[in-house]
Amino acid sequence: MNSFEEVKKELYKYENLGIEKFENGTILIGKALHIAPLAWLNKIYPVLNEDDILLIENELKTEVPLDYKNFLINFSNGLNIFVATFSLYGLRKVLGRSVEASRQPFSIFTPNSFERPENSKDHYFFIGGYNWDGSNLYIDKQTNKVHYCDRWDATSLFEWNSFDEMIVSEVKRITNLFDEKGVVLDENKYTTPIEIK
- What does each of the 197 residues of the chain score in pLDDT, given as a tens digit? 699 999 999 999 999 999 999 888 899 999 999 999 989 999 999 999 999 999 999 999 999 999 999 999 999 999 999 999 999 999 998 776 655 656 789 999 999 999 999 999 999 999 999 999 999 999 999 999 999 999 999 999 999 999 999 999 999 999 999 999 999 999 999 999 998 76
Q: Which CATH architecture has domain 47-77+84-176?
A: 3-Layer(aba) Sandwich (3.40)
The letter for the amino acid at 190 is: Y
Residue among 107, 109, 139, 135 at smallest CA distance from 121: 139
Residue among 14, 7, 6 at smallest CA distance from 179: 14
- Angle formed by the axes of helices 66-74 and 50-60, to 10°? 140
Phi, psi dihedral angles at 43 (to 5 degrees): -130, 125
Residue 195, pLDDT score: 87
Please state, in angstroms and rounded to a whole number, the distance separating the CA atoms of residues 183 and 80: 16
Torsion 19-71-8-145 (CA) sign: negative
Question: 171: buried, middle or exposed (CB in 10 Å: 19+, 13-18, 0-12)?
Answer: buried
Residue 23, pLDDT score: 83
Q: Domain coordinates of the chain in residue numbers?
A: 47-77+84-176
Q: In what order do the strands lie in the sheet with 146-149?
A: 19-21, 27-31, 40-44, 79-81, 86-88, 124-130, 136-140, 146-149, 158-160
Query: For the whole model, what pTM was predicted?
Result: 0.94
Residue 151, pLDDT score: 94
